[in-house]
Structure 1
Amino acid sequence: MPVSRSRSYEVKRWLVLALASVTVLAAVNVGLYQFAQYSVKQELAGVATTLSQRVTSVLAESGVLADDVHKRWQNRASQTESCDSGFADQLGKQADLRPYVKGVSILKGQALLCTSLPGTAQAQIDGMLTRLMIGNGLQPGSPLNLDSPGLLTLYPYADGYNVLSILPVEYFFDLLSTLDPKRYGLVVLRINGTYLRSDRRAETHLPKFGNDWTSASAPGSVQIYVEASDDLWWRYIRDSVVTWNVIAIGALWLVFGFSRRFTSQDRAFTRALRKAVASNAIVPYYQPVFDLPDQTLAGVEILARWQLPDGRFVSPERFIAQAEANGLIADLTRSLMTQVIADLPLLDLPPAARMALNLPHESLGDDVLFACIENWAKVLQQHGLQPVIEVTERGFVAMSQTEKVNTLFGRLRERGIQIALDDFGAEYSSLGYLHRFRFDYVKIDGLFLDGVGKSREVESVLDAVLDVAAKLDLKVVVEKVETPVQLSYLNRRKVNAAQGYYFGRPVAAGAWQSYARRCAVCRHDCRLSMTECEQRFTVNGLVFSSVRAD
């Protein structure tokens, strides 16, 4: 007997939702961590690129000044290479117009010709050139009577004249110090072999960084290194954690909302189903089964139908599956058997006619239901009818259940109840079931009939299924027969019996006499396919209001 999922299902559902919530929040925060790392690197790269561009612009302006000085000296050298105080003053004024140039000197080769820095001698120029040769462009201020150190830059020209510029280190220190120390740690500028630090120190090697850093290069042997502060990564976390988690919680709220809505509909459907079972609103319909080839009435299959007050029908696939899942299938089966017994006078079936009732094999383990089946079968037998239990093959699960199921089948046969395998061939394990269990007959699913008269390949599959049944000496009933072509095929294959819309649709007991018997004779008047009939009478997607059953 299926176990009700009311409490255990809810516990599992909430556990799954809780696990999903934890997973989503964990994924969000992992994403937040990666986002913070990515954002820090992007910010550092952006700052380094901006600083490198500014330094490159300064060096470019220094180069423009050197070109202008060289041109002026070329014009003067055509007359004289001597440097008087007037020309030196002009060089000083040109340097003063640019805050990032302390002074310029004109050389011929390595010999000093003219300079804007008073007191500069050849010996000092030789020292500067020596520094440049070893890759150290940092010039202390005191030897040149400067108030701070400078960076040396040599601009050579093809005519042998060179311009030596001195750029103030303080300018670059100030540039590096403009960054927010709360966001950035150490900032380093490399020009040639000199490394200027934001803590106003100059070195000849790259310092070690304690946090994440990135760099950006620029023409002229310029490179900027920017280190993140200890707080930058956490700033991104703090700035984003609220937003990200609000989004995550909002998404979870939607998930919970939809879940609650769907489960509320599911619970409402279950309550409506429970009420329908208790009030016998789900009633038996009867579809005739005919022996072939003479097409005499051999019996009926009992089918459950649930009609709503507005005349629509609930899909049997849905409410039967819901009944099995919620432990209502036994109550539904008892209700149907009781109503079938009450309908017997209206049906007036011929002697020995089979009355087949579908039942999952798990329900046979319910002692109370089994007793009801025995009583139901006894009443049918008293009316001269043959009770049949049709077991759908998808109901069999494990090999370990074989002995138990065979025992139940044996108890049914002892009471004169036949057992049929329903939907034979529709599942992958059909042959295994025929090997493990004994059936009185098998019912072949109508899906095999769809290609009859249309596809030889499909007919070959059905031929094979019928051959298997014949070799096992099993009687065969084919379902969902709709056309004369299909019936002709079944007659050629000497199939024992058939049912389907060609012979008659399922009807309630009250309509049996006026409709079902007439269907076998007047089938040609029905021009609807099986699918069209089902679409007309069945509603698959019902939404039930949340009204509790009394």
Structure 2
Amino acid sequence: MPLTIKRHKRMAVNICLSVLIGTFPIVCGIVTLHSLANRTLEQQSESATKAAIQQFNAMLDSAEGATSDTYRLAGSPCEDVQFLLREQATQRLFVRTVGVTLNDEFYCSSLFGKFFEHIRPTDYVNGQLLLSFGNVVTPDIPVLIYRKSENEKGALAVIDGRYVKNVLQHTGKGGNSVLIVGPRWMSSSGHVFTAEHKKFPIAETRISSKKYFFSVASGFNSGEVLRHIEKNYIDLFGVFIFLGLSAGAFTYWTLGRAIPPSQELKRALSAGEFIPYIQPIVSAEDESWIGAEILMRWNHSSDGLVSPDLFIPYAEHSGLIVPMTQSIMMQVAKQLAPISQKLSKGFHIGFNISNHHCHDIELIHDCQYFLNAFPKDSITLVLEITEREIIEPGATTYELFDRLNNMGVKIALDDFGTGHSSLDYLRKFKVDYLKIDKSFVSMIGEDSLSTHIIESILALSEKINLSVVAEGIETPEQQKYLKERKVKYLQGYLYSRPLPLDIFIEKINQASINNQAQAQLSNS
């Protein structure tokens, strides 16, 4: 199984499934390694950013210390303070030059002594920090300037941009780090830019200093994730490829093996693939729907509807027919109970049962569950036992049929006249209906023997007071013949093919609407 699938179709399905399953570990491996690489790069980026922040804070701590010790000297003659400025410049790490300002005029430097330059506080971020392209000493080398001011006095400490460059290069860990001060930023190459810094495409981390007005951004260029995987995880990726090829090969081998029918039936039962179809039974008097036979169909996940002749024998042989029937009864109860008021009074609902059902007392509970789903006396539950299958009754069987009879469940003998146990069944079991097999009905008017058998069945049913249902009616001639012989219940394609349960419900609902409309017209 699947029982109707062709060999070439099965092979195509097997190949597709094998490729799909074989690809899955490889795709999972790619996703996993990509995620792992991303996470590693993010950690490296965060680590580099934090390290750079820490080192720049240390630089600015040194500059802040130099300016704190010198800004009070502002206003004194340059000759008096120049030595102290030089002392600060030589003692403070990273600081290249220290100077003092008065009323925003830079007038004394540790490097030049007297030096005159106007300071614009607005150039400094929050009046404190400036990333400059260079100064008069090293015009091509950027500098980071720290400014401290109080009233008219102030001091400047200049940090050589080469220190900044070294920090950005050594903390980048294979990526890129930039120092951002206000509208300007400096790359690890040592160049300062005024355009807004664009985000790094891979694993960007940006952290602002909690002590000073700057931030550091770190990240990686495009393609770094793949380069990282190739460099660090190529062996692991090979493992995923091996797993994928192994899984695909194993799947193809497994699917190529014959699947036991019982195993496939169990899978289908678990997947809810067995569904009810319903064929109406009509009254010979007015052809109204007074009952229906529930038929089991297998809606296979890949093959569609599977013929009952292909799977019912396997289901009966394995005993799975019992839970399959339970599933069908539950589905019918769930869907038909809400519209029970639209069905005719005592609407007959018939289910086929097998030899396995007749030895399982659980059938009592299934029937009780079904009847309890409907308003009391609104429907009649009929169990159909086939005359083609030999039922060997035991104590459980007799108890079962007695209890079913007490519950009001009716018994119909299906395919009557086609086997060897007809009269024996009538003697052993309390039967309420005989169903004339369609093989006899189809020969009405064409085969005299079939006609004699039908006449005998009708005579027998009249003598023992059994109702008769004729199956397989397809022509008006067959219908006329059976009506003339007082057969009350008719079933066949002439009235309706087996319908999916939802279609049957739609027709019941539409008939109810039409009846209401006719009633309103009659009253008006």
For normalisation by structure 1, the TM-score amounts to 0.47
TM, length-normalised to structure 2:
0.49
Instruction: Considering Cα pairs closer than 8 Å and 6+ residues apart, tell me whether 1 or 2 has the greater RCO.
Output: 1
